[in-house]
Structure 1
Amino acid sequence: MKTLKISQLRPTQMTHGLREIRQKTEAYERLKGHELEMAIAYKPIPVVYGPDEVPYAIDHHHVATALWHAKVKRVPVVLVKDLSKLSLAEFWLALENNRWTYPYNALGQRVPFSEMHAYIWDLEGDEYRSVSASVRDAGGYAKTSVPLEEFRWADFLRHRLHAPQNDAEFDSLIMKAVELAKSEAALGLPGYLG
């Protein structure tokens, strides 16, 4: 399987959940040798080649960032599409049309593609992205193959719940968020369980 340096991967989103990254980093740091190699191989990073054959990660930003924090230098990648012949504007349009990019900041506001970060570990922390992952893990909604589902849930929760200011508030917010995720207000979101 082809591998690339994590430093070569360009992000296609503006934010990630720092709590989720912290948990994943701790999990990777506990692994050694073959166990670590198997964990890394289990989640190859899907990439799309952009202009000048620059690899852009279109998923697993959290995995790549956690591995980088755990001092892993290279990750396995899977090429999803080669768009290297497109102009930069055409490239970002193709990513958007395929739902392979999420150009929104931690406030849920759209930003220009020119403001995308250069490195995958430099993304903004979005508490609601962490909340959405925790809600899914707690059974609030089902994991699906819908691209960027966690961001849609994060935006839904962002407009209905106050941001947690510390770990205790985060933990108590999850139960409220699970109830909200199962309410009719969430009908239509990917993985809705009702």
Structure 2
Amino acid sequence: MKMLSIDRLRPTQMTHGMREVREKTEKYKALSGHELEMAIAERPIPVVYGPNSAPFAIDHHHVAAALWRANVKSVPFVLVRDLSFLPQADFWQTMENNRWTYPYDAEGRRRPFSEMPEHVWELADDEFRSLAASVRDAGGYEKTSVPLEEFRWADLFRCTLPRPNSDDEFESLVKKAIKLAKSDIALGLPGYLGPVD
């Protein structure tokens, strides 16, 4: 399997859920030897080569950031597409057309591609992205293969729920968000499961 140094990996999104990164970091730190190698191998980073053959991660930003925080310096990767021949503007347009990038900040505002962080561990924390992951893990909606699905759920929660200021508020918000995820307001989002029974 091809390996890539995490510090060379370029992000294609501006935020991630820091709660998710911390949880994954602790899981990786608890592993060693063969167990750690197997855990790393089962989540290769899908990559698109961009200008100057820079490797851009199009998924698993949380995994790469958690591994970096756990002192793992390289990851296996899978090359999805080589777009290194494209000029910068055409590259980002192609990435967006394929839904391989998400240029929005932690407030849900669109930002220029020039503001994309350089490293996967530099992404801003978005509590609503963490909330989306927690709601999915609690059965609020199903994981699908739809690109960037968690961000769509995060945007729903961002528009309808207050930002949590503590762990207790976050846990309380998960329960409200699960009900919201199963209500008609979430109809049409990827992985929607329908009304609460």
| TM, length-normalised to structure 1 | 1.00
Percent of aligned positions that are identical: 69
Matches of 1:3 and 1:71, distance apart in 2: 15
CA deviations 1:80-109 (Å, max 9, x no partner) are 000000000000000000000000000000
CA deviations 1:130-168 (Å, max 9, x no partner) are 000000000000000000000000001000000110111
State how many pairs are aligned.
Answer: 194
Q: Are positions 1:123 and 2:123 aligned together? A: yes
Aligned counterpart, 1:139: 139
Aligned counterpart, 1:76: 76
Aligned counterpart, 1:24: 24
CA RMSD, aligned part only?
0.3
Aligned counterpart, 1:85: 85
Matches of 2:20 and 2:171, distance apart in 1: 13
The SS at the match of 1:133 is helix
**Amino acid aligned to 1:174:** V
Structure 1, gaps ≥5 residues long: none
Matches of 2:170 and 2:162, distance apart in 1: 10
Question: Offset at 1:53?
Answer: 0.5
The SS at the match of 1:24 is helix
Matches of 1:147 and 1:182, distance apart in 2: 21
Matches of 1:87 and 1:40, distance apart in 2: 33
Structure 2, gaps ≥5 residues long: none
Question: Offset at 1:115?
Answer: 0.4
Matches of 1:164 and 1:30, distance apart in 2: 28
Matches of 2:34 and 2:179, distance apart in 1: 40
The list of structure 1 runs, each at least 4 consecutive aligned residues, that deviate by more than 6 angstroms after superposition, is: none
Question: Offset at 1:52?
Answer: 0.8
| TM, length-normalised to structure 2 | 0.98
**Amino acid aligned to 1:103:** P
Matches of 1:28 and 1:173, distance apart in 2: 27
Aligned counterpart, 1:97: 97
